[in-house]
Amino acid sequence: MFKRVFILGGLVLSLFVAQVQARTLFIDFNNAESEIAVFKQSHQGVASEVVVVPSYQRITRKQRLHIVKVNEAIEAYTVKLQDCAVAIKRDAKCDSYYDKIYSLEQEREKTTAYYSAEDLKKELLALLEDKNAVPFDMVVISGHHEQGFYRGELTDAKVKEFVEMMDESRALFSKVNTVVFLGCETGTKAVFQNTLLNMFPAVPVILASEDNAPTRNEARNLAYIRHVIQIRPKLLAARTVKEVQPLFNSLLARNWPASLLWRQNVVFFKESTELL
């Protein structure tokens, strides 16, 4: 049951047009090819153009595919280590698994050419100089959000670093009307208040995760993304909380722990709708 509902009447959203533009900046910590592919699809007659950072010039598709295989091997050895921890009779190979994981992690970093938060910042700033790149209508950020970091298979950045680089590239986001975070606990009340309002101070629709988000390739994750794209025009056109609530509920129906900051001051969670 919802705690509170606030009606905001008489507001006109000038960012909404008959066909909502879909020029997207996809910031990819997570090597999320499947998610990128969905955002590139055409929806309701509106073609999507997606600019990916790290760019495919810096980390090619061949490199990304290799990183996926390396990460799968890391996960397999991690499972073996967990089995070792509970085994009654410990296998002699257990001690070698740590070395194998370390070696694979080094291989992964070498494959990305040691792409760092500083490299990410340079690519964002370079987009400011590209007249064909700006402005964007939507920003998508895919990556794990934990222990003060945004991280993934391609790179990582401290939350503070990421906020600062977004601030330095502010002009990229002057026309953005939608932000989508695809990572765990990116949409808690504390994150909205302490981070996202500062990162995107004028964006009317910010979608994130209140809890643990599904992994990048899960069917329910990709279905959620498709649904976000489908209802985005209605979210931007909505004038009252009463109009937004069923749209938000339809996101929850996708079994994805969505939260929504709307108009910078109304936040929708699974169990409540509140002023921020």
Burial 74-85 (b: 16+ CB within 10 A, else e): beebeebeeeee
Asked if the model's pLDDT at residue 17 lies above 60, the reply is no
What is the rounded average pLDDT of the residues 45-67? 89
- Structure-token pair, residue 17: 């047009």
Return the pLDDT at 21.
Answer: 63
pLDDT tens digits, 163-178 = 999 889 888 888 999 9
The CA–CA distances, whole Å, from 5 to 107, 169, 234, 245 equal 51, 35, 19, 9
Written as one letter, the residue type at 2 is F
Q: What percent of the chain has pLDDT over 90?
A: 72
Indicate the average pLDDT of the chain.
Answer: 88
Asked if the model's pLDDT at residue 118 lies above 80, the reply is yes
Cβ neighbours of residue 190 closer than 8 Å, sequence gap 6 or more: none
Q: What percent of the chain has pLDDT over 70?
A: 90
Asked if the model's pLDDT at residue 213 lies above 80, the reply is yes
Domain spanning 23-59+115-275: CATH 3.40.630:
no
- Structure-token pair, residue 181: 């975070």
What is the rounded average pLDDT of the residues 57-81? 94
How many whole angstroms separate alpha carbon 276 and alpha carbon 274? 6
The CA–CA distances, whole Å, from 135 to 109, 130, 263 equal 31, 10, 20
Q: How many Å from the N-terminal Cα to the C-terminal Cα in the chain?
A: 18
DSSP structure string for the chain: --S------S---TT--SS---EEEEEESS--HHHHHHHHS-BTTB--EEEEES-TTTS-HHHHHHHHHHHHHHHHHHHHHHHHHH-SS--TTHHHHHHHHHHHHHHHHHHTTS--HHHHHHHHHHHHT-TTT---SEEEEESEEETTEEE-SS-EEEHHHHHHHHHHTGGGGTT--EEEEESTTSSSHHHIIIIIHHHSTT-SEEEEESSPPPPTT-HHHHHHHHHHHHHHHHHHH--SHHHHHHHHHHHHTTT--EEEEETTTEEE-SS-EEE-
Tell how strand 205-209 and strand 156-158 pair up. unpaired
Asked if the model's pLDDT at residue 43 lies above 80, the reply is no
Asked if the model's pLDDT at residue 91 lies above 90, the reply is no
Identify the residue whose tokens are 């592919």. 37
Query: pLDDT grade, residue 11 (50/70/90)?
Result: very low
pLDDT tens digits, 235-263 = 999 999 999 999 999 999 989 999 999 99
Domain ranges of the chain: 23-59+115-275, 63-111
